[in-house]
A and B are shown apart, each in its own frame.
Chain A
Amino acid sequence: MSAITRDEVAHLARLSRLALADDELDHFAAQLDQIIESVARVREVAAGDIPPTSHALPLTNVFRPDEVRPGLAPDDALAAAPAVEEDRFRVPRILEEEA
C-alpha cells in the first residue's frame, strides 16, 4: 500500500500554491511516497510522555530596545516589485469580480 496517493499529492500541490503539470504530479507522487515511507520511521519511537522540542534554545520573551530607525524609502521598497502603480505594489485581482 502506498503512503500517499496521487490525488493527495495533487491536494498538497494546491495547498502549497504550486500549479504542477500532470507528469510532475506523477513523478512527485512516486518520490513523496518513498520519502514519507522512510520518514514514517519516527513513529516507531515510543515517545508518549516525551515533551516536544520546537527549538534548540530555550528562549522566551526576547526584547530589544524600541528605538526609532529609518525604514525603507518607497523607491527602495518598490525597486524589485514585479509591477508598480502610484507608489504601490500592483497585484493581480484578489477578489472575485462581482457579477
Chain B
Amino acid sequence: MSLTRRTAAELGAMIASGEVSAVEVTQAHLDRIAEVDDKVHAFLHVATESALAQARDVDARRAAGEELGPLAGVPVAHKDIFTTADMPTTCGSKILEGWQPPYDATVTARLRAAGLVILGKTNLDEFAMGSSTDNSAFGPSHNPWDLTRVPGGSSGGSSAAVAAFEAPLSTGTDTGGSIRQPAAVTGIVGMKPTYGGSSRYGLVAFASSLDTPGPFARNVLDAALLHEAFSGHDPLDSTSIDQPVPPVVEAARQADVSGMRIGVVKEFSGEGYQPGVLARFQEACDLLESLGAKVVEVSCPSFTYALPAYYLIAPSEASSNLARFDAMRYGLRVGDDGTRSAEEVMALTRAAGFGPEVKRRIMLGTYALSSGYYDAYYGQAQKVRTLITRDFEAAYEQVDVLISPTTPTTAFRIGERADDPMAMYLADLCTIPSNLTGNAAISVPCGLADEDDLPVGLQIMAPVLGDDRCYRVGAAVEAALQSRWGAPLLDKAPAL
C-alpha cells in the first residue's frame, strides 16, 4: 500500500518501528502534492524544504533514542489562518498577501513539539468567512470527489488535502461549521472541540467568542490523535479552559454505543434538506439503534433562530476584529502618495484588500452594533444565544449526545452560491448551534447520497468538555459502516 493511503496512526507506528523514515513519508506526500494539487488547489504554500528538514530532525532524534509521540514524523497540512514564523500567513486575503508573521500560533508550536511535519498552508475562504473556498482571494479549492464542486469551507483546503491523500491530517478552524461542513462534503472526519479546548493564540481572529481550532483526518482515531496533540490549556489565550483535554484518543478506541442515549434534533429536517442526505441520516439512526443505543427524537425549538443570531453575532465580532487591518504596521498599503491622510489610505487599502464577503460582513456587523440598532439586533441575538444554550441543556438531561445531518446538502458546484450570500449561509444551518454554545461536535462520513454519489456527513454533538463522546459515537458508526462497506468510504472516490 502506498504511504499516502496509510492512516496517521499507521504512519506514526511505522516510523517509530523504523519500517520507514519520516523523510520517506514526507517525500511521498510532497510527491502526491506535486502530482495532484494543480487539480485540487488545496495548498496556498508548500513548504518543501522546511518539511524535509523537520522530517530529518525527527529521524535524527529517533536514531538518538529519543522517546517521541505517536505522531512524530507524520505530515500535516496547516490552515493558512494560523501564524507560522517560517511560512507566509495570508488568511486567503490580498490584504495579507506575502505576510510573514513574527511568531508561531500555539497550535503551530504544538504541532512542531509533537514532531508533526508541516507540509504547507492550506486554502480557505478569506478570513474563514464562507462555506466553499469561493471567497479565497487566491482561487477556490476543488472537491476530490468531483473537481467541479466545492470542498466546503472555510477550511476547504484542509479538507481537500486530506480527501485527496495529499496529507493524512490537517488543521482547521470552526466558527460556524468551518471544520464539520468541509469534512462532511469531502467524506472525511472533522471535529470542532469544545470552545476553549484548543488555543486561539496566533489564530487570526474572525469571531473571537466562536473561533475554535480542530482536526481533520480520514478516520476517527487519527482525528483524536491530532486533537490531543495540539489541544489543552494555554496561558496565552485567556479563554482557554484550564482543565485536562477530554480522553479523546481512549474514546476513539472505544467504539461502543450500547446503552447510550442519542437524541435526533427534530428541527434539523424537512424543507431545504436533500433527500439523499436525509436517507443516509436515517440509516445512521437505525444503525445506532442496532448497535444498542436508545435513539429518541428531541426538540430544540430555538435552533431555528440560530442562523440569524449567528449572522448578527459573528459579523459584529468580525467588524471589530478586522479593524486591525489598517495598513499601518503590516499587510497591504494602497494609495499612500504623500498627500492622502492615514484615514484615506486605510479606506482605500481595505477596499482593495478585502473581498466582497469580508466587506459584507464588516458592514453587517457595523450595522448590528450601531446605536439605534444594537438592542434590536446584536442584543436580541445574544438573548437567542441564551435560549439555544438552554435548549441544549434541556436536551442533555435526556440524552448523552445529539445527532443530525452535518449539512443540508452534499457539495454544491464551485461558484454556484458565490454571489448569493443567503444560500451560502444555509450550508451552516445544523453546525451553528454548537458554536453559539461552545459545545463539542464532530462530523463523520455516513455514506453517499443516491442523487449524486457525493459524501454525506453525520454530526454528533456533545456538551461542553464532552468531546470524548463525539469520538466514541463516531468510532462506533465508522466501524459499523466500514464493515458494511468492506472499505473506507474514500476508496469509492474517483482517482485524480
Interface residues of A (CB under 8 A from B): 4, 8-9, 12-21, 24, 27-28, 31-32, 34-36, 38-45, 47, 50-57, 59, 62, 64-65, 72, 76-77, 79-83, 89, 91-94, 96
Contacts and interface: CB of A to CB of B under 8 A. Distances in A.
B102 A72 contact: yes
B308 A57 contact: no
B384 A16 contact: no
Contact of B336 (A21, A62, A83): A83
Contact of A45 (B362, B364, B370, B387): B387
Chain B CB within 10 Å, residue with most, of A44, A52, A94? A52
Interface in B308-356: 308-309, 311-312, 319, 323, 326-333, 336, 338, 340-348, 350-351, 354, 356
Contacts of A52: 379, 382-383, 385-386
B370 A15 contact: yes
Contacts of B333: 82-83
A4 to B, nearest CB: 7
Give chain B's interface secondary structure class. helix
A36 B360 CA distance: 11
B383 A45 contact: yes
- 7 shortest A-B CB distances, which residue pairs? A56-B438, A52-B382, A82-B333, A80-B330, A47-B383, A19-B347, A53-B385
A86 B400 CA distance: 61
A19 B344 CA distance: 8
Contacts of A9: 363
B312 A18 contact: no
Nearest to A93: B341
B421 A79 contact: no
B360 A35 contact: yes
Given A72-B102, A83-B336, A92-B336, A18 B354 contact: yes
Contacts of A39: 308-309, 311-312, 364, 368, 377, 381
A32 B238 contact: no
B342 A42 contact: no
Contact of A40 (B308, B326, B382): B308
A89 B342 CA distance: 12
Contacts of A21: 351
Contacts of B302: 45
Interface string B369-412: 01000001101111111110100000000000000000000000
25 contacts: A16-B350, A17-B347, A18-B363, A19-B344, A31-B421, A34-B421, A38-B422, A39-B368, A42-B312, A43-B380, A44-B305, A45-B383, A47-B386, A53-B382, A53-B389, A56-B196, A56-B437, A56-B438, A57-B195, A57-B464, A59-B238, A64-B235, A80-B330, A80-B331, A96-B341
A19 B336 CA distance: 14
A73 B176 CA distance: 37
A57 B336 contact: no
Contact of A32 (B336, B341, B367, B377): B367
B268 to A, nearest CB: 17
Given A38-B311, A93-B342, 9 more contacts: A16-B362, A17-B350, A19-B348, A35-B360, A39-B312, A45-B380, A53-B436, A57-B464, A82-B328
B241 interface: yes
Interface of B: 99-103, 195-196, 209-210, 235-236, 238-239, 241, 302, 305, 308-309, 311-312, 319, 323, 326-333, 336, 338, 340-348, 350-351, 354, 356, 359-360, 362-364, 366-368, 370, 376-377, 379-387, 389, 421-422, 436-438, 464
Chain B CB within 10 Å, residue with most, of A15, A38, A41, A57? A57
Contacts, number: 181
A18 B305 contact: no
A93 B338 CA distance: 8
Nearest to B306: A42
Nearest to A34: B422
B336 A56 contact: no
Contacts of A24: 351, 359
A38 B299 CA distance: 23
A42 B350 contact: no
A18 B209 contact: no
A94 B326 CA distance: 13
B239 A55 contact: yes
A18 B100 contact: no
B343 A42 contact: no
Given A56-B438, A80-B331, A92-B340, A16 B377 contact: no
B360 A79 contact: no
Given A32-B364, A93-B342, A80 B386 contact: no
Contacts of B196: 56-57
B378 to A, nearest CB: 9
A18 B384 contact: no
